[in-house]
Structure 1
Amino acid sequence: MAVIANTKVLTLKEPWSGQVNSGKHQLITDKPESFGGQDQGLAPYDFICAGLISCTMITLRMYAQHKGIALGEFTVEADFKANKEGEEWIERRLHFVDSLSEELQKKVLDICSKTPVTKTLLRSLKINTQLV
């Protein structure tokens, strides 16, 4: 069994605020002011979206490099949504500065459905919690 990622959060003195450490990287997590936080960093669902779109961007760039395809500059954006019935979903949008052929557009959408984080989010994930 391989550890794919390891991240730790340390509580800060401000309510809802924490310092997230992953390897040599540090980020701040917080809640928006509308939820009583200081809005000093990403909220938990922002991290989920960030993981998804980061993986999408990296996977597309790796594919393009491997196939010798020039995708040019592009952005990936995601919204985490929920409705009153308790359904949750993510809407992901890609915008390419350069136009893509219809064939390449279809390939990009196919690749997006197969990124590692996409696949993780689409299947049920077991979470084991313990006090140490």
Structure 2
Amino acid sequence: MTHSARAQSGNTPYRVTLTDPQGHVWYADEPLDKGGADTAPGPLQIVLSALAACTTVTLQMYAARKQWPLTGVQVDVQLNPDGVPAAGNQITRHITLQGDLDDEQRQRLLQVAQACPVHKLLEGPVQIPTTLD
């Protein structure tokens, strides 16, 4: 499956309408102190949200396939919680698993979280060839 998205500026400074081929519509904006209207998450919040959502869904899918008693997942992510490290940006991720899981299941789910598609995208080398009209 090919994934794609489009961003289109509008009349409100820095507010962007985002769409995909499936017809979903969502928004990005900048906070007031950066000249935006603060009507939607900023682009970095959207990236962090993608990682948290992907981790949550990946864990739920894996546990369901294994018929494990996972009843809930909470994923908290933060960009550079201690400031920008010398070696580059860092995203911390804290996962809370709910359900009657044993230690082996919990450790396996931690490994599975490392394999979620957004995690792999963010960790791996990414090229962004760009054209201009």
Question: For the residues of structure 2 that align with 1:69 and 1:101, how far apart are their CA atoms?
Answer: 10
Of 9, 13, 16, the match for 2:14: 16
**By how many angstroms is 1:113 displaced?**
0.8
User: Structure 1, unaligned stretches of length 5 or more?
Assistant: none
- One-letter amino acid of the counterpart of residue 108, structure 1: L
Question: For the residues of structure 1 that align with 2:27 and 2:100, how far apart are their CA atoms?
Answer: 36
- One-letter amino acid of the counterpart of residue 119, structure 1: K
TM-score using structure 2 length: 0.88
1:1-52 CA distances to partner (integer Å, 9 max, x unpaired)? x52x111011021211111112221111001123221111111111111111
SS state of the match for residue 90, structure 2? strand
How many corresponding residue pairs?
130
Question: For the residues of structure 1 that align with 2:127 and 2:85, how far apart are their CA atoms?
Answer: 25
Identity %: 24
Deviating beyond 6 angstroms after TM superposition, the runs of 4 or more aligned structure 1 residues are none
Aligned-CA RMSD value: 1.7
Question: For the residues of structure 2 that align with 1:129 and 1:120, how far apart are their CA atoms?
Answer: 18
1:38-86 CA distances to partner (integer Å, 9 max, x unpaired)? 1111111111111111111111111011111121022112112251647
| Pair 1:74 & 2:73 matched | yes
Question: For the residues of structure 1 that align with 2:85 and 2:92, how far apart are their CA atoms?
Answer: 17
SS state of the match for residue 72, structure 1? strand
Match of 1:125? 126
User: Structure 2, unaligned stretches of length 5 or more?
Assistant: none
